[in-house]
Amino acid sequence: MPPQWAGLSPELLLSVDRDSEERLCAQLEGQLRDAIRTGRLRADERLPSSRALARELGLSRGLIQDCYAQLQSEGYLVTRVGSATRVATGAHIPKSPEAEPSPTRPHLTADFRHGVPDLASFPFTDWLWATREAARTMPTADLDYGDPRGSSALREVAAGYLRRVRAACAEPARTVICSGYAQGLGLALGALSRAGARVVAYEDPGGPAVARAAADAAGLTAVPVPVDEQGVDVRRLAATGADAVIVTPAHQWPTGVVMAPSRRLALIEWAMREDAYVIEDDYDAEFRYDREPVGTLQGLAADRVISIGTVSKSLAPALRIGWLLCPPALMAPVTEAKHASDRGSPTLDQLALARLIESGRYDRHLRRMRTTYASRRTALITALTENAPSVTLSGLAAGFHAVAHLAPGLDEETVITRARARGVGLYGMSACRASGAADPGQLVLGFGNVTVRGIGEGVAAVADLLEPSGA
* Contacts to its own copies from residues 235-264, by CB under 8 A: 258, 261, 264
Does residue 294 contact residue 282 with C-beta atoms inside 8 Å?
Answer: no
DSSP, residue by residue, 285-302: TT-BSSSSPPPPSTTT-T
Window of 67-75, 419-427, 438-446, 454-462 that interacts with its own copies by CB under 8 A: 67-75
Residue among 72, 314, 387, 451 that touches its own copies (CB under 8 A): 72
Site string for its own copies, 9-48 (x = CB under 8 A): ----------------xx--xx--x---x-----------
| CA 17 to each of CA 23, 38, 56, 67, 267: distance values in angstroms, whole numbers, following the listed order | 9, 21, 14, 16, 73
* Contacts to its own copies from residues 169-228, by CB under 8 A: 169, 171-174, 178-180, 182-183, 186, 213-214, 217
Q: How far is the CB of 468 from its own copies (least distance, A)?
A: 35
* Count of chain residues binding its own copies (CB under 8 A): 98
Q: How far is the CB of 173 from its own copies (least distance, A)?
A: 3
Q: How far is the CB of 204 from its own copies (least distance, A)?
A: 21
Cα–Cα distance for residue pair 85/340, rounded to 1 Å: 46
For residues 167 and 381, which CB has a smaller minimum distance to its own copies in the complex? 167
Among residues 143, 172, 181, the alpha carbon closest in space to that of 320 is found at 181
Among residues 315, 4, 370, 322, the alpha carbon closest in space to that of 130 is found at 315
* Contacts to its own copies from residues 337-356, by CB under 8 A: 340-349
- The angle at the Cα of 281, spanning 280 to 282, to the nearest 5 degrees, equals 100
For residues 57 and 177, which CB has a smaller minimum distance to its own copies in the complex? 177
For residues 39 and 389, which CB has a smaller minimum distance to its own copies in the complex? 39
Tell me the chain's radius of gyration from C-alpha atoms.
30
Residue among 100, 106, 235, 290 that touches its own copies (CB under 8 A): 100
For residues 66 and 411, which CB has a smaller minimum distance to its own copies in the complex? 66
For residues 209 and 437, which CB has a smaller minimum distance to its own copies in the complex? 209
Q: How many helices (H) and strands (E) does the chain have?
A: 15, 15
Q: How far is the CB of 414 from its own copies (least distance, A)?
A: 28
Residue 144 in the binding site for its own copies (CB under 8 A): yes
Residue 321 in the binding site for its own copies (CB under 8 A): yes
The contacts found for 207-211 with CB under 8 angstroms, 24 or more apart, are 207/253, 207/432, 208/432, 208/433, 208/434, 209/431, 210/182, 210/185, 211/185, 211/246
For residues 7 and 90, which CB has a smaller minimum distance to its own copies in the complex? 90
Q: How far is the CB of 277 from its own copies (least distance, A)?
A: 15
Cα–Cα distance for residue pair 234/212, rounded to 1 Å: 20
What's the half-sphere exposure (Cβ side, CA atoms, 13 Å) at 76? 20
* Contacts to its own copies from residues 75-94, by CB under 8 A: 75-76, 78, 88-91, 93-94
Residue among 52, 54, 265, 366 that touches its own copies (CB under 8 A): 265
Among residues 309, 319, 334, 407, the alpha carbon closest in space to that of 173 is found at 334
Residue 272 in the binding site for its own copies (CB under 8 A): yes
* Contacts to its own copies from residues 389-418, by CB under 8 A: none
Q: How far is the CB of 142 from its own copies (least distance, A)?
A: 6
* Contacts to its own copies from residues 301-320, by CB under 8 A: 301-303, 312, 316-320
Question: Residue 462: which residues within 8 A CB-CB, separation 6 or more?
Answer: 415, 418, 419, 422, 424, 426
Among residues 186, 184, 181, the alpha carbon closest in space to that of 217 is found at 186
Residue 133 in the binding site for its own copies (CB under 8 A): no
